[in-house]
Amino acid sequence: MGKSITHKIIERHLVSGEMIPGREVGLRIDQTLTQDATGTMAWLQFEAINIGKVRTDLSVSYVDHNTLQMGFRNPDDHRYLRTVAAKSGAVFSPAGTGICHQLHLENFAKPGATLIGSDSHTPTAGGIGSMAMGAGGLSVALAMAGEAYFIPMPKVVKVNLTGQLTGWAQGKDVILHLLGLLTVKGGVGKVFEYAGPGVASLSVPDRATITNMGAELGATTSIFPADERTRDFLEKMGRGQDFVELMADDDAEYDEVVDIDLSTLEPLVAQPHMPDRVCPVRELAGKKIDQCAIGSCTNSSYSDLKNTAQILAGKKTPPETDLLISPGSKQVMKMLAREGLIEPLLDAGARVLECTCGPCIGMGGSPVSAGVSVRTFNRNFEGRSGTQDGQIYLASAQTAARLALDGEFTDPVTWGDAPERIELPADVPSIRDLFVFPPADAGDVAILRGPNIVALEDFAELPDTIEAKVLLKVGDNITTDHILPAGAEITALRSNIPAISQYIFSRVDKEFVARITEAGTGVILGGENYGQGSSREHAALGPRHLGVKAVIVKSLARIHRANLVNFGILPLLLVNPADYDRLEQGTALTIPASAMTPGGTVDIVADSGESIAVTNDLTKKELEIIQAGGLLNAVRKNQS
């Protein structure tokens, strides 16, 4: 039997386990990336492991999220990240250089390499054939220390592409179509591997957009072949030596197959407040638009922004519609400036922002109250924009630019000729000199910490019996933004767990923190797909600090589940989902934690005397980690 790209990469990096779907496999990791919102804690955890130098082929610390330097907190974090990277042998990317995923794609990602990053959109690098996965910061810290990364062996889904995109349809519309087809839960436990004759028609930026938003499917990762398109991209980036051809065997077998005829796609949009609420743009014709925002790690490439400039050239946006543009990197900015493409953006009325994540994570650029904002981003969760009642729609850069001119949703048949499909110029300017590479001798480097940087606390082992109340009951598709909101005020506290924990569930239930602080311990009850979205481990760390001992849900998102395990919170699954309705906020529970076995079922007892059956999908090693009080405790125990 032939092999898929996914199987080839996993086989080459397999440290332990069997490549049977659902079985745990340990993978050797070639590269890691961190960003400042999650990276400060990841680097504190790396220091706690106490091995000195990173043991990967490459580790890069990017600053792209918390670049609003309001007060000392963010600048102090950036200084810490710069100095700890120099001391530890990692590359540092200063604030303003660009967005981590765009920069990594341009400068460091390699076909066939394994990459994990403390950001859920790390799969962007799958656009050039890297097996790139989002992970919690502690998992990344351990990979930097040379430890394997453990995941359940995923199923591999072949996305068979035929035809080619026509008219105004873009790569963004491919992934929006797939989200509409499969939902935000449709990729859990799966890798989406793109194949078929349609692949050759997609540029690397289009591919990266698709793999980036594969995270919204809940997928382990997404990946494209490394073909002649990939070779051309890497050569133009001055990295031709990094190219290796990587293709699936002709007779490769897959667990599932999804067929997409690219020629049938039209401009699509995801409606509030989920990326899978997809419909054609034409169906919303007449709806007024208050804001358009173009950029983020999903759609901030040279090709996206050159198209944007071409669409806007000689025109003006209406005064009622704000337009924000965030280039993905200084390399993109240099190419636009060289071709005279910044002036058309400015003349059209756009605000050109710094090369950062910015509005995507509510870091400025929020829409007006109840405002309709069309964004080229990857998530439209409620409140993520910084405006709690903002109505956020997701679309391609080309669609957003065209709608910005109209100030309302319009039918694409009225838009005229579609913009040309952009190829990279032959002489792409390099910005590699802007990265700070580690010194050969770091002996004199001092790691500098500000007063907001608080070391990770030691957590107690799991008790034999958990006696706690359900202190919060939530529904389906609770995201990490629900658990711990983003935005300038809160994100500045990512290196201070006691401080940031005060915001846990603050936009869901303002009384939750006070309630659990008074109780000292508690349990969270949730529905389907609990913890979807960002990889932010703070959504597990914060609850653990407050005293959450277990979450009881119908189903869990992959990365959040791993983060719960990493910090010693017991993830329990209702055997009978209907039992969710039998439990209420305030119900006191007795959970026989010591009776837990990997994959086993136990009965928890409510104060009414009712028994509720719960199970788990934990491996023996994961259960031991939870019993130890978390992964750091388990690592230290093994080292002693």
Predicted local confidence at residue 536, as pLDDT: 85
Predicted local confidence at residue 434, as pLDDT: 97
Predicted local confidence at residue 269, as pLDDT: 98
Predicted local confidence at residue 90, as pLDDT: 98
- Can 5-14+25-264 and 466-639 be said to share one CATH topology? no
Per-residue pLDDT at 489 exceeds 90: no
* 237-248 tens-digit pLDDT: 999 999 999 999
Predicted local confidence at residue 601, as pLDDT: 96
Average pLDDT over residues 53-78: 92
576 burial via Cβ count (<10 Å: 0-12, 13-18, 19+): exposed
Per CATH, is 466-639 categorized as 3.20.19.10? yes
Per-residue pLDDT at 493 exceeds 90: no
Domain ranges of the chain: 5-14+25-264, 268-414, 466-639
Per-residue pLDDT at 486 exceeds 90: no
Predicted local confidence at residue 68, as pLDDT: 81
Q: Which residue has the tokens 């005397």?
A: 609
Predicted local confidence at residue 550, as pLDDT: 97
* 73-91 tens-digit pLDDT: 889 999 999 999 999 999 9
Q: What is the sign of the dihedral through the CA atoms of 127, 128, 133 and 134? A: negative
* 313-338 tens-digit pLDDT: 999 999 999 999 999 999 999 999 99
Q: What is 5-14+25-264's CATH superfamily? A: Aconitase, domain 3 (3.30.499.10)
Average pLDDT over residues 84-111: 97
In the structure, what pLDDT confidence band is assigned to residue 640 with cuts at 50, 70 and 90? low
Lowest mean per-residue pLDDT among 60-74, 169-183, 466-480: 60-74
Average pLDDT over residues 12-37: 96
488 burial via Cβ count (<10 Å: 0-12, 13-18, 19+): middle
Q: What is the sign of the dihedral through the CA atoms of 616, 619, 620 and 621? A: negative
Calpha distance 433→496 (Å, rounded): 32
Lowest mean per-residue pLDDT among 19-28, 35-44, 126-135, 237-246: 35-44
Question: What are the catalytic residues?
Answer: 64-65, 119, 379, 534, 536
In the structure, what pLDDT confidence band is assigned to residue 639 with cuts at 50, 70 and 90? low
Phi, psi dihedral angles at 321 (to 5 degrees):
-120, 115
Average pLDDT over residues 567-592: 96
| Whether the model pTM is above 0.75 | yes
**What top-level class would CATH report for the domain 268-414?**
alpha beta
Calpha distance 483→478 (Å, rounded): 8
Per-residue pLDDT at 66 exceeds 90: no
Calpha distance 42→30 (Å, rounded): 17
